[in-house]
Chains A and B, each alone.
Chain A
């Protein structure tokens, strides 16, 4: 299968893409951070020094220890190893990003394709005006409001963020689709009697993929930021879940004396978000996009 000409061509394209991508050291650093965080998250139970500290665990004899060889990032007020909890915290952050994006991208993109293709009709008006309403309030505040009427949990936080996030994809794809519909290849497909489904998903969508993909990479970072903000105020993940935002919020109470409880999880959030941002910027340069 991999010997077929199509696959040869794809492999060649990929190789060229990687060459261009790897010319920019900043993008490679981003990729490195993303891979590192994903690796730590995936193998957290095996590489964390104290995997049992991720959940409900108490050892007051080792409570609030400053960073040492035994606990490189120190321990929290319950005596839990912060480094181990950060590894598990990566799991929740990444899960949040992946779940939210897989929930919002398909509907957001489909609505954007339809609104863009039917530009100038009532369908466009309906979809885009609803989108405008959702975009009229900062996403964090709407997500907070939704979370507040639900029971606080990781699951509900993901639902709340998803509910607020799809309009960004609708708007992005709408812009692309409404200009692509005037391209000759779309008109050619129309003239030969291709179905609307074929035109939307086989002609227009493939030309939007690089933009969507880049936005997804950048959004992984934003979703993780908003998720950590939700848990920070207590409307997201609940203790003893090792969520990075919750850990920062808990640690903030013990500043400035036990600074390590809040500072290391905060740095962990920054590294994750930075990785996805650098990666996204790398993709943007690679695909030579402007509008994201």
Chain B
């Protein structure tokens, strides 16, 4: 069966990429000029304390040995200790990652649904006013940094109109649902706490939309281009000629194959969404992983930086595997095992 072999190959490749990424990020985090231990302990710490911590973190050993210790630790789920909070980095990640994943997933869903929807409409009604409106908006979406969207939304819908809250994940008067997954909306759903669910969703609208718009515009542009190309193809004309109902032609014969390029680029767009979450979380005071990452970066917290990048690498690689599987399902050339030219 082609799909299993495809998946196995894909997984093997991902392991390789993550291994390479770990070397890369390890090297980056160790070329830091200056002494991280001294920075963490402060200039007045006694020399023996600095020496102790250095030995404890294996920073006195040669680089390959350091990498070995780091990798072995990472494989056991131990990403070292934060130099600042003195907590295990993995605990910090467990605390902060769900908030970011929640935001990113919502933004991702908004991005995919509306991007494809607008793109498909614009492509179907090529060169009409609908098409022109979508094209203008997708240009604006592509060229605007997500932090600008975030600031404008905050200003307009948060402060001026007051429709949406401006910070955090829940209103202060709403008790937080018990932590199951760490994602407030999912937890609220699981415990049947509709009030908290509504409140959490209400808090999510502005940051998620600000985050989604860039990728949404990108998706819309690509979908539009493929649909308007495929619309001119002979097979569509012949399907119509055979009297296949218009709706069937549009959804099955036009939309499905046209989604291949769109879905292929979804992985990349999701990646830039995770990157932009770094900025949007800062603006909306969203207590997530990205804000934690930025703080780690500003404080030069080595272990935390390495962990943040590695975790995002894992997320990104996973998303790409899913994307590849969806593309394989859409594209019979891959599904049936034919080699596609790169």
The interface of chain A, by Cβ under 8 A from chain B, is: 129-130, 132-134, 136-142, 144-151, 175, 178-179, 221, 225, 228-229, 232-235, 248, 252, 255-256, 259, 262-263, 266, 269-270, 273-274, 277-278
| B residues less than 8 Å from A278 (CB atoms) | 139
Of the candidates A138, A144, A151, which one forms a contact with B272 in the assembled complex, judged by CB atoms under 8 Å apart?
A: A138
| B residues less than 8 Å from A228 (CB atoms) | 145
User: Are A149 and B144 neighbours in the complex by a CB distance under 8 Å?
Assistant: no
User: Are B298 and A235 neighbours in the complex by a CB distance under 8 Å?
Assistant: yes
When A136-B316, A144-B297 are in contact, do A262 and B274 touch as well, CB less than 8 Å?
A: no
User: Are B309 and A141 neighbours in the complex by a CB distance under 8 Å?
Assistant: yes
Of the candidates B155, B274, B294, B300, which one forms a contact with A259 in the assembled complex, judged by CB atoms under 8 Å apart?
A: B155
Of the candidates A137, A175, A179, A263, which one forms a contact with B316 in the assembled complex, judged by CB atoms under 8 Å apart?
A: A137
Of the candidates B29, B142, B147, B293, which one forms a contact with A149 in the assembled complex, judged by CB atoms under 8 Å apart?
A: B29
User: Are B317 and A256 neighbours in the complex by a CB distance under 8 Å?
Assistant: no
Complex-state Cα separation, A262 to B156, whole angstroms: 13
Complex-state Cα separation, A4 to B305, whole angstroms: 59
Complex-state Cα separation, A151 to B33, whole angstroms: 9
In addition to A255-B155, A255-B159, A263-B151, 20 A-B residue pairs with Cβ atoms within 8 Å of each other are: A129-B20, A133-B20, A136-B17, A136-B21, A137-B312, A137-B316, A138-B271, A138-B312, A140-B278, A141-B312, A145-B28, A149-B302, A232-B147, A233-B282, A235-B298, A248-B147, A256-B155, A266-B148, A266-B151, A266-B152
Secondary structure call for the A interface: helix
| B residues less than 8 Å from A255 (CB atoms) | 151, 154-155, 159
User: Are B18 and A136 neighbours in the complex by a CB distance under 8 Å?
Assistant: yes
Check B332 for interface membership: any CB of A closer than 8 A.
no
| A residues less than 8 Å from B33 (CB atoms) | 150-151
For window 17-61 of B, CB contacts with A under 8 Å fall at 17-18, 20-21, 24-25, 28-29, 31-33
User: Are A138 and B275 neighbours in the complex by a CB distance under 8 Å?
Assistant: yes
| B residues less than 8 Å from A147 (CB atoms) | 297
User: Are B143 and A274 neighbours in the complex by a CB distance under 8 Å?
Assistant: yes
Check B76 for interface membership: any CB of A closer than 8 A.
no
When A130-B20, A137-B309, A229-B279 are in contact, do A149 and B300 touch as well, CB less than 8 Å?
A: yes
| A residues less than 8 Å from B272 (CB atoms) | 138, 140
For the complex formed, measure the closest distance between the CB of A278 and the CB atoms of chain B, giving whole angstroms.
7
Check B88 for interface membership: any CB of A closer than 8 A.
no
| B residues less than 8 Å from A149 (CB atoms) | 28-29, 31-32, 300, 302, 305
User: Are A233 and B279 neighbours in the complex by a CB distance under 8 Å?
Assistant: yes
The interface of chain B, by Cβ under 8 A from chain A, is: 13, 16-18, 20-21, 24-25, 28-29, 31-33, 139-140, 142-145, 147-148, 151-152, 154-155, 159-160, 271-272, 274-276, 278-279, 282-283, 293-294, 296-298, 300, 302, 305, 308-309, 312-313, 316-317, 341-342
User: Are A277 and B143 neighbours in the complex by a CB distance under 8 Å?
Assistant: yes
Complex-state Cα separation, A138 to B278, whole angstroms: 11
Complex-state Cα separation, A269 to B298, whole angstroms: 24
User: Are B271 and A225 neighbours in the complex by a CB distance under 8 Å?
Assistant: no
- Which of A145, A235, A255, A278: most chain B Cβ within 10 A? A145
For the complex formed, measure the closest distance between the CB of B49 and the CB atoms of chain A, giving whole angstroms.
23
| B residues less than 8 Å from A262 (CB atoms) | 151
| A residues less than 8 Å from B29 (CB atoms) | 145, 149
Complex-state Cα separation, A129 to B15, whole angstroms: 12
| B residues less than 8 Å from A141 (CB atoms) | 274-275, 278, 293, 308-309, 312
Contact sample, A vs B, 12 pairs, CB 8 Å cutoff: A133-B24, A136-B316, A136-B317, A138-B316, A140-B278, A141-B293, A141-B309, A144-B278, A148-B300, A248-B148, A255-B154, A256-B155
User: Are A148 and B305 neighbours in the complex by a CB distance under 8 Å?
Assistant: yes
User: Are B271 and A137 neighbours in the complex by a CB distance under 8 Å?
Assistant: yes
Of the candidates B13, B24, B143, which one forms a contact with A273 in the assembled complex, judged by CB atoms under 8 Å apart?
A: B143
User: Are B274 and A256 neighbours in the complex by a CB distance under 8 Å?
Assistant: no
When A136-B17, A145-B28 are in contact, do A221 and B143 touch as well, CB less than 8 Å?
A: yes
For the complex formed, measure the closest distance between the CB of B32 and the CB atoms of chain A, giving whole angstroms.
4
For the complex formed, measure the closest distance between the CB of B282 and the CB atoms of chain A, giving whole angstroms.
7
When A178-B342, A255-B154, A269-B145 are in contact, do A139 and B275 touch as well, CB less than 8 Å?
A: yes
- Which of A147, A150, A255: most chain B Cβ within 10 A? A255
When A129-B16, A234-B298 are in contact, do A270 and B274 touch as well, CB less than 8 Å?
A: no
| A residues less than 8 Å from B151 (CB atoms) | 248, 252, 255, 262-263, 266
User: Are B24 and A134 neighbours in the complex by a CB distance under 8 Å?
Assistant: yes
- Which of B274, B297, B298: most chain A Cβ within 10 A? B297
User: Are A274 and B32 neighbours in the complex by a CB distance under 8 Å?
Assistant: no
User: Are A140 and B139 neighbours in the complex by a CB distance under 8 Å?
Assistant: no
Complex-state Cα separation, A147 to B45, whole angstroms: 27
For the complex formed, measure the closest distance between the CB of B313 and the CB atoms of chain A, giving whole angstroms.
5
For the complex formed, measure the closest distance between the CB of B136 and the CB atoms of chain A, giving whole angstroms.
10
Complex-state Cα separation, A274 to B138, whole angstroms: 11
When A137-B309, A147-B297, A233-B294 are in contact, do A269 and B148 touch as well, CB less than 8 Å?
A: yes
**Closest chain B residue to A137, Cβ basis:** B313
For the complex formed, measure the closest distance between the CB of B315 and the CB atoms of chain A, giving whole angstroms.
10
Instruction: Please list the 5 inter-chain residue pairs (A to B) with the smallest Cβ-Cβ separation, ordered nearest first.
Output: A148-B297, A140-B275, A133-B20, A138-B275, A138-B271
- Which of A130, A141, A145: most chain B Cβ within 10 A? A141
User: Are A256 and B279 neighbours in the complex by a CB distance under 8 Å?
Assistant: no
| A residues less than 8 Å from B309 (CB atoms) | 137, 141-142, 145
| A residues less than 8 Å from B316 (CB atoms) | 136-138
- Which of B13, B29, B278: most chain A Cβ within 10 A? B278
